[in-house]
Amino acid sequence: MAFAPGTDIVSQIIYAASLMLFVVFMLYGQRIQFYVMIREVENSLRKLKVIKEKGRKTAIETIKEIGKPETDPTSKVDRYLEYFTISPQSMDPAGIVYKLDHILDVRDNRLKDEVKLIAPASDEVQVFNLENTLEAAMALNFIYRIVRHFYIQGKKTLNMYIILQLQMILPLVMKEAEAYANALEAFAFGQPIGDGVGPLIAARLMQGYETRRVPKDCVVATLPFEGRTALVLKARGPGGNVGKPGDAVKELIEENKGKIAMVIMIDAGLKLEGEKVGEVAEGIGAAIGGPGVDAFKIEEVVVKYKIPLNAIIVREDIGDAVSPMRKEIADSVDNVLERMRNVVNERTKEGDKIIIVGVGNTIGVGQ
Amino acid sequence: MSKNSSDISNKISRYLQIIVFAVLALSFIALIFGVEAYLMGNGTVAIYLILIGALSMGLAVYVLYQSRKRVEKLKTEDTKVMTTIECRKCKTKDLREFERGDFVFKELGKCDKCEENKIITAIYKEIKNKEKPFTI
Contact flag A326-B125 (C-beta cutoff 8 Å): yes
In CATH terms, the superfamily for domain A194-358 is: Peptidyl-tRNA hydrolase (3.40.50.1470)
Task: Sort out which chain A residues have CB atoms less than 8 A from B126's CB and list them.
Answer: 327
What number of C-beta contacts closer than 8 Å exist between A and B? 83
What is residue B12's predicted lDDT score, i.e. its pLDDT? Answer: 66
Q: Is residue B49 part of a domain?
A: yes
| Torsion, CA B53, CA B55, CA B56, CA B58, rounded to 10 | 120
Backbone angles phi, psi at A78, to 5 degrees: -60, -40
Decide the pairing of beta strands A262-270 and A280-284: unpaired
DSSP-derived letter for residue A66 is I
Contact flag A330-B103 (C-beta cutoff 8 Å): no
Tell me what the pLDDT averaged over chain B comes to: 81
Q: Residues B37, B60: one domain?
A: yes
Contact flag B103-A365 (C-beta cutoff 8 Å): yes
Q: If you measure CA to CA, which chain A residue comes closest to B71?
A: A47
Q: If you measure CA to CA, which chain A residue comes closest to B134?
A: A274
Q: If you measure CA to CA, which chain A residue comes closest to B104?
A: A365
| Cis status, amide bond into A238, omega within 30 of 0 | yes
Q: Residues B69, B34: one domain?
A: yes
Q: How far is B65 from chain A (nearest CA, A)?
A: 16
Decide if B136 touches A, using CB distance below 8 A.
yes
pLDDT value at A15 more than 90: no
pLDDT value at A336 more than 50: yes
Map out the domains of chain A as residue ranges: 28-188, 194-358
Task: Sort out which chain A residues have CB atoms less than 8 A from B103's CB and list them.
Answer: 190, 192, 237-238, 364-366
Task: Sort out which chain B residues have CB atoms less than 8 A from A274's CB and list them.
Answer: 134, 136
Mean pLDDT, rounded, for A169-190: 89
Model ipTM value? 0.82
What is residue B2's predicted lDDT score, i.e. its pLDDT? Answer: 41
Domain that holds residue B59: 10-74
Question: Measuring CA to CA, how many Å separate A127 from each of A55, A290, A366, B26, B112?
Answer: 17, 21, 16, 60, 34
pLDDT value at A247 more than 90: yes
Cα–Cα distance for residue pair A276/A272, rounded to 1 Å: 9
Task: Sort out which chain B residues have CB atoms less than 8 A from A67's CB and list them.
Answer: none
Q: Residues B44, B92: one domain?
A: no
* Residues B7, B13, B18, B19, CA torsion sign: negative
Cα–Cα distance for residue pair A135/A66, rounded to 1 Å: 17
pLDDT, tens only, A104-138: 999 999 999 989 988 888 888 889 999 999 999 99
Cα–Cα distance for residue pair B117/B128, rounded to 1 Å: 32
Tell me what the pLDDT averaged over chain A comes to: 91
pLDDT, tens only, B27-65: 999 999 989 989 988 888 888 889 999 999 999 999 888
Closest C-alpha to B83, from B121, B109, B112 = B121
Task: Single out the residue in B74, B89, B107 at which a domain terminates.
Answer: B74
pLDDT value at A5 more than 60: no
Contact A235, A202 (CB under 8 A): no
Contact A73, A67 (CB under 8 A): yes
Q: Is residue B18 part of a domain?
A: yes
Q: Is residue B70 part of a domain?
A: yes
Select the residue of A50, A325, A366 nearest B106 (Cβ to Cβ).
A366
pLDDT band at A166 (very low <50, low <70, confident <90, very high): very high
How many domains, in total, are found in chain B? 2
Cα–Cα distance for residue pair A5/A7, rounded to 1 Å: 6
What is residue A297's predicted lDDT score, i.e. its pLDDT? Answer: 94
Give percent of chain A with pLDDT exceeding 90.
65
Q: Residues B66, B85: one domain?
A: no
Is B70 or A135 the better-scoring residue by pLDDT? A135
The three-state DSSP-derived secondary structure of chain B is CHHHHHCCCCCCCHHHHHHHHHHHHHHHHHHHHHHHHHHCCCHHHHHHHHHHHHHHHHHHHHHHHHHHHHHHHHCCCCCEEEEEEEECCCCCEEEEECCCCCCECCEEEECCCCCCEEEEEEEEEECCCCCCCCCC
Interface test with A, best of B105, B106, B121, B136 (most A CBs within 10 A): B105
Q: Residues B95, B67: one domain?
A: no
Q: Residues B14, B70: one domain?
A: yes
Closest C-alpha to A230, from A350, A362, A361 = A350
Mean pLDDT, rounded, for A247-254: 94
Task: Sort out which chain B residues have CB atoms less than 8 A from A207's CB and list them.
Answer: 105
Cα–Cα distance for residue pair B53/B30, rounded to 1 Å: 5
DSSP-derived letter for residue A365 is B
Select the residue of A185, A190, A274 nearest B103 (Cβ to Cβ).
A190
Q: Residues B18, B51: one domain?
A: yes
Q: Residues B37, B68: one domain?
A: yes
Contact A263, A310 (CB under 8 A): yes
Decide if B126 touches A, using CB distance below 8 A.
yes
pLDDT, tens only, A291-325: 899 999 999 999 999 999 999 999 998 888 988 99
Contact flag B81-A189 (C-beta cutoff 8 Å): yes
Q: Is residue B32 part of a domain?
A: yes
Q: Residues B103, B70: one domain?
A: no
Select the residue of B70, B103, B126 nearest A237 (Cβ to Cβ).
B103
pLDDT value at B6 more than 60: no
Q: Is residue B132 part of a domain?
A: no
Contact flag A54-B79 (C-beta cutoff 8 Å): no
Q: Is residue B102 part of a domain?
A: yes
Cα–Cα distance for residue pair A257/A237, rounded to 1 Å: 28
Q: Residues B51, B69: one domain?
A: yes
* Whole-angstrom Cα Rg for chain B: 29
Q: Residues B50, B84: one domain?
A: no
| Torsion, CA A45, CA A49, CA A52, CA A58, rounded to 10 | -150
